[in-house]
Amino acid sequence: MSGSGGGVGGGAGGSPNNTEWRFNQTLRNVQGMLKGRSFPGKVLLTRRSEPLSPPDYSPRFESEHDEDERKEGSQEGEGQAPGNSFDNASAKKSNILSTSSSNSLPDAQGLVSGARATDSARIDKFTKELSRPAVILDNLRELSWSGVPPYMRPNVWRLLLGYAPPNKDRREGVLTRKRLEYVECVSQYYDIPDSERSDEEITMLRQNPQIQKSLERILYTWAIRHPASGYVQGINDLVTPFLVVFLSEHLEGNMDSWSMDNLSAHDISNIEADCYWCLSKFLDGMQDHYTFAQPGIQRLVFRLKELVRRIDEPVSKHIEEEGLEFLQFAFRWFNCLLIREIPFHLVTRLWDTYLAEGDYLPDFLVYISASFLLTWSDKLQKLDFQEMVMFLQHVPTRTWAHHELEMVLSRAYMWHTMFKSSPSHLAS
C-alpha cells in the first residue's frame, strides 16, 4: 500500500488477469491496514518548491454496481420524490445556529446526538415520517440534516442511502435478499480453504478479533467487487460509523463494553451485510475519490484552497507564504471525511448531515472543511510552516462537544448558501 495516504493497495504488480493473485493481494492489503501497518493520509513534511498545477477535472468514474443495484429501493409510493433529487436549500433551516449544547464532554459511547436530535417534537416528526406506508425521503433528509435520534439512526441511514426501499411493504424482503447476497459474496470471495492461503495469511486471519474480522470481510468483499478501486487506504475509516450504528441495534450500554461474543452468527452476518451495502451506496456518488490517484479528492482539495482564499484571504496568504500546500493536510480530511479529526462520539452526528446531503455531499464537504480549517484562523496566522504542519496533524478537537460541531456545520451552510449561486468564487 502507498505510505503517503490514499494510494491504491492492490493496483500494481502481478498479472491483471491473474484472479488468484488479485484476491490474495487484496486480502494482504486489507489485513495490513487492520494490523496498523500503514497510516492513511500522512502529512508530507516538506516545503513546496514549485507551485502545483490545478488537478485535471476528469469525468466521474461510473459505479461498478449494475443498474438494478443502483436503483434498488427507489420504487416508492405515488408522488414520492427521488431521494437524491433533494434541494439542499430547502432542507437546512436557519435555526441550526441556535443549537443547544452541553458544557461537559458527552459519554464515550458516541450514540448521544445532543438535544436537537432527541427533543420530543423532533422525535414525533421522525416517528410520523417513518410510520408512513412509503417514506417521503425529502422530508426525512430535511429532518436528518440536524441530527437523528440514536435509536432511529440505523433505519434512517438505510433509507437515506437507498439500501432500504421507502415502501414499507417491500422493505423487509429487500433487506433479506441483499443480506443473503452479501453472504454469497463472502462465501465466493473470502471463505476459501486454508490450503489456498499462505502461512502468513493464515496467521494473520487467526489473530484478528471478531470486529476486526468483520471489517476484514466487508473491506475485502468490497475491494473484490470494485476492481477499478481495489482497496484504497481510508475506506476502512468509512466503514466504522456504519458498524457502530448497526451494532447499536443489538448491543446496549457503553460502546467500550460491547462484545460481539453476545451476538449470534445470524446477527453478525446481517450487521456486516448492512455495513457492506450502505458503504457501497455511500461511495457510489464518490467513485473517483477512491480510484487510482484519487482524482476526485484532488479536485476537492483544489476547490478548498480557492474557497479559503475567497473567505479568509489573510490566512490563505499566510499558508501560501509559508509554503504549505493544502494537499498536505486536506487530502486526509477528504479521504477519511474528517473522521480522524474529530472525537468519535461526534462522528455519527456528522454523518447524519453527510447522508442527508445525498449526491450533493462532495460539494458540501468543501464548505465543511473550510469551516473546520477557519475555526483556527487567528491561530494559524501566528504559526510558521513546521508549526502549522504539526497543528493540522493534531487539531485540538479532543474536548469538542456538539456545540463546536454544530458551529462548523452552521458556518458551512451559511457559506454554501451565500456562494452556491456564484460558482465563479471557486474559479482561479
- Where is pLDDT greater, at 282 or 17? 282
Q: What pLDDT is recorded for position 68? A: 45
Q: What pLDDT is recorded for position 91? A: 42
Q: What pLDDT is recorded for position 118? A: 59
Single-letter code of the amino acid located at 378: D
Q: Where in the chain is the domain with CATH 1.10.472.80?
A: 295-421
Q: What pLDDT is recorded for position 228? A: 72
Q: What pLDDT is recorded for position 322? A: 95
Q: What pLDDT is recorded for position 65? A: 40
Residue 405 has pLDDT above 90, yes or no: yes
- Where is pLDDT greater, at 360 or 50? 360
Count of Cβ atoms closer than 10 Å to residue 371 Cβ? 21
Q: What pLDDT is recorded for position 366? A: 96
Tens digits of per-residue pLDDT, 86-113? 444 344 444 444 443 333 333 434 434 4
Whether 305 and 367 have beta carbons less than 8 Å apart is answered as: no
Q: What is the mean pLDDT of residues 6-13?
A: 39
How much of the chain exceeds pLDDT 90, in percent?
47
Inter-CA distances, 115 with 96, 401, 406, 408, Å: 12, 12, 12, 17
Angle between helices 137-144 and 347-357 (to 10 degrees): 150
Q: What pLDDT is recorded for position 280? A: 92
Q: What pLDDT is recorded for position 26? A: 65
The pTM score is 0.69
Phi, psi of 154 (to 5 degrees): -55, -50
Phi, psi of 303 (to 5 degrees): -70, -35
Q: What pLDDT is recorded for position 370? A: 97
Closest CA to 325 of 48, 33, 6, 69: 48
Q: What is the mean pLDDT of residues 223-228?
A: 81
Q: What is the mean pLDDT of residues 143-165?
A: 95
Confidence of residue 125 (pLDDT cuts 50, 70, 90): very high
Closest CA to 65 of 218, 328, 285, 344: 285
Confidence of residue 255 (pLDDT cuts 50, 70, 90): confident
- Where is pLDDT greater, at 382 or 293? 382
Confidence of residue 192 (pLDDT cuts 50, 70, 90): low
Residue 267 has pLDDT above 90, yes or no: yes
Whether 248 and 306 have beta carbons less than 8 Å apart is answered as: no
Residue 84 has pLDDT above 90, yes or no: no
Closest CA to 280 of 146, 127, 403, 163: 163
Residue 416 has pLDDT above 60, yes or no: yes
Q: What is the mean pLDDT of residues 169-183?
A: 95
Lowest average pLDDT, out of 188-197, 231-240, 271-280, 284-293, goes to: 188-197
Q: What pLDDT is recorded for position 256? A: 75
Four-way CATH pick for 295-421: 1.10.357.10, 1.25.40.80, 1.10.472.80, 1.10.3720.10: 1.10.472.80
Tens digits of per-residue pLDDT, 326-359? 999 999 999 999 999 999 889 999 999 999 999 9
Residue 162 has pLDDT above 50, yes or no: yes
Residue 392 has pLDDT above 80, yes or no: yes
Phi, psi of 134 (to 5 degrees): -135, 115
Q: What is the mean pLDDT of residues 403-407?
A: 96
How much of the chain exceeds pLDDT 70, in percent?
65
Q: How many residues does the chain have?
A: 428
Q: What pLDDT is recorded for position 194? A: 52
Q: What pLDDT is recorded for position 189? A: 66
CA distance 166 to 178: 15
Q: Per 3-state DSSP, what percentage of the chain is helix, strand, and coil (rounded to 5)?
A: 60, 0, 35
Closest CA to 92 of 66, 72, 116, 60: 116
Q: What pLDDT is recorded for position 204? A: 39
Q: What is the mean pLDDT of residues 364-384?
A: 97
Count of Cβ atoms closer than 10 Å to residue 276 Cβ? 26
Q: What pLDDT is recorded for position 145? A: 95
Q: End-to-end alpha-carbon separation of the chain, Å? A: 34
